[in-house]
Amino acid sequence: MIKSTFIKEIRQLTRDGRVATAFVIVVGLLAMAIWISGKRYHAINQEYREAKSTERAIWDNQGDKNPHSAAHYGTYAFKPKYPLSLLDQGVDKYAGTSIFLEAHKRNEAQFSMATDQTGLARFGDLTPDFILLFIIPLLIVLLGYNSFTKEHEMGTMALLKSQGTSVVKLILGKWLAIMSPIFLITTILFLIAGVVLSNLDDFGVFSWESLGVLFLVFICYYVVFTNLVLIISSRVKKSGIALVFSLSIWIIACLLVPKISSNIADTKHPYPTRQEFAANVLKDKLEGLDGHDPWSKQAKQLEKEVLAEYGVDSLHLLPFNFDAYRMQKGEEHESEVYLKHYRFLKKQFAEQSEVYQGLAAFSPFLPTRFLSMAIARTDYATHWNFADAAEDYRVKTQAFLNNNFAENSSYGEWSYRASADTWKKLPPFEYAPPKLGEILSTNGSNLLILSTWLIVSFGFLFITIKKI
């Protein structure tokens, strides 16, 4: 009986011109999104390859140079490329792809794609994640809004009931008929993605596991939408009303709740503006040691302490270059200041995330969006993780350079030049992104919310059966 209903529904869907048109449009959009992602891949890859190969070469070949000059010369930490970012670019477009690492300063990531685009880019890109998150649920609405209402409108419900039809089997047949084309489109998209991404040997490490989990997340999301659309269709009598209600659910879940969540999160736990942040950092920096200023109160205090510690009365008698030592101490103070202020940003981020999770009870879109970005390694958490690793590398780089300066020269010897092979001794920046297991464990609440949506929507669907 499930099979009969499934075949009948599929026949009806394929013969309905509107559904066929919608299907063709979605497949066309999907093809276009894949093409755009392909273009993006080539653009990113070319920039990345050029930047990464030249940057390290420039660093390694600085020649004889004062280490502190090298510290100011700086280097770059490049965010690794994640193959799944071609499916869901998440915040990458806005968060930037590389961080300039220099003395005294923790920089933000730069070279975001959004900065190179016009204001129209704010309307969103036609990317696979846009199709997966917004368009396919819309297709589910179009496929399923009249699943039951058409039976009332065509007058076939009475005949169906007179056959002794099991409503559970009837619903399962209709459910399968809606989910099958959705499952097919999603599977084809993910298979194409898997085959293409696993063959890109120059775009990060591809994991079938991550792709599989991402696929499951989206299937759960679509199941929730299918259940909601079927619940509505079984509870109202007219297709027009069912369509309005189903579209309202789509608007609320995919557009309204995310926007409202964002506004509430921003209002309740605001980030400081860039200017405020810079002013706060500067204020704290000025309250501590400035490595470049030997005349400040803090520098004089450090001098006194070091002389006492080594039992000498002149900086020239110290076994290291005190200028470099002071600069390292200044660097440590500055990194503490940055740590404090970035910790605050992360606290705000964590609290904003809690707001999103609280409001995810009103939208299956939110947990899906966050899980998708996390699995694709394009969420804010991964970006923070990368930025922290880059900062850690910056601090270690400064220590490496200042220590070289301090240990190989004496006080006042600003003419010291480290040999050309010194720079190669600095290990390159290596960043290991969080593994899938870690991502899933840190996104446990999103998984829980999506699972709750799944279970509750099935529950409601089967409760409505009794009313048919």
Q: Which residues bind other proteins (CB under 8 A)?
A: 1, 3-5, 7-8, 11-12, 15-16, 154-156, 158-166, 169-170
Name which of 12 and 239 has its Cβ closer to other proteins. 12
Name which of 15 and 122 has its Cβ closer to other proteins. 15
- In angstroms, what is the minimal distance from the CB of 458 to other proteins? 22
- In angstroms, what is the minimal distance from the CB of 15 to other proteins? 4
Name which of 165 and 357 has its Cβ closer to other proteins. 165
SS (H, E, C) the chain: CHHHHHHHHHHHHHHCHHHHHHHHHHHHHHHHHHHHHHHHHHHHHHHHHHHHHHHHHHHHCCCCECHHHHHHHCEEEECCCCHHHHCCCCCHHHHCCEEEEECCEEEEEECCHHHHCCHHHHHCCCCHHHHHHHHHHHHHHHHHCCCCHHHHHHCCHHHHHHCCCCHHHHHHHHHHHHHHHHHHHHHHHHHHHHHHHHCCCCCCCCCHHHHHHHHHHHHHHHHHHHHHHHHHHHHCCCHHHHHHHHHHHHHHHHHHHHHHHHHHHHHHCCCCCHHHHHHHHHHHHHCCCCCCCCCCHHHHHHHHHHHHHHCCCCHHHCCCCHHHHHHHHHHHHHHHHHHHHHHHHHHHHHHHHHHHHHHHHHCCHHHHHHHHHHHCCCCHHHHHHHHHHHHHHHHHHHHHHHHHHHHCCCCCCCCCCECHHHHHHCCCCCCCCCCHHHHHHHCHHHHHHHHHHHHHHHHHHHHHHCCC
Name which of 242 and 390 has its Cβ closer to other proteins. 242
- In angstroms, what is the minimal distance from the CB of 215 to other proteins? 32
- In angstroms, what is the minimal distance from the CB of 145 to other proteins? 17
- In angstroms, what is the minimal distance from the CB of 153 to other proteins? 9
Name which of 170 and 214 has its Cβ closer to other proteins. 170
- In angstroms, what is the minimal distance from the CB of 190 to other proteins? 31
Name which of 5 and 98 has its Cβ closer to other proteins. 5
